[in-house]
């Protein structure tokens, strides 16, 4: 079964990516992603929330808002797609995620595109 880890990080975590603690920050991620590599099917580290742009459609037309989308303690910092046999196994991987120490890691099953195609026909 495929799962997504939605990785939420604090503003301090985003700052650590580029600051004097960058090496320590990235080394913990290198170790984690190396351990998860055999199960990973995709993913990406996201740039800071201020670089994002949110698009929405309203009755008056297209609306574009500069990031961050929401003013919250944690912001989406990355996504990892991976295979696990059970939700418990996926949660075990989430527990090992460096972001779980300061932020939050959401585990969500992925709905295959083939199922979406079947539902639309």
pLDDT single digits (tens) 43-81: 999 999 889 998 999 999 999 988 877 778 889 999 999
Chain centre distance of CA 101: 15
Give CA–CA dist 111/97, Å, rounded. 22
- pLDDT mean over 30-54: 94
- pTM of the complete model beyond 0.75: yes
Q: How would residue 83 be classed by pLDDT, with cut points 50, 70 and 90?
A: very high
């Amino acid at each position: 079964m495929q799962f997504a880890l939605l990785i939420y990080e604090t503003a301090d975590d985003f700052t650590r990516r580029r600051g004097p603690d960058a090496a320590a920050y990235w080394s913990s991620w290198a170790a984690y992603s190396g351990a998860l590599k055999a199960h990973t099917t995709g993913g990406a580290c996201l740039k800071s929330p201020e670089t994002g742009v949110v698009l929405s459609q309203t009755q008056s037309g297209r609306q574009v808002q500069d990031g961050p989308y929401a003013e919250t303690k944690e912001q989406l910092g990355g996504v990892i797609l991976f295979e696990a046999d059970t939700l418990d196994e996926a949660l075990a991987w989430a527990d090992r995620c460096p972001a779980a120490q300061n932020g939050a890691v959401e585990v969500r099953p992925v709905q295959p595109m083939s199922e979406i195609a079947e539902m639309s026909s």
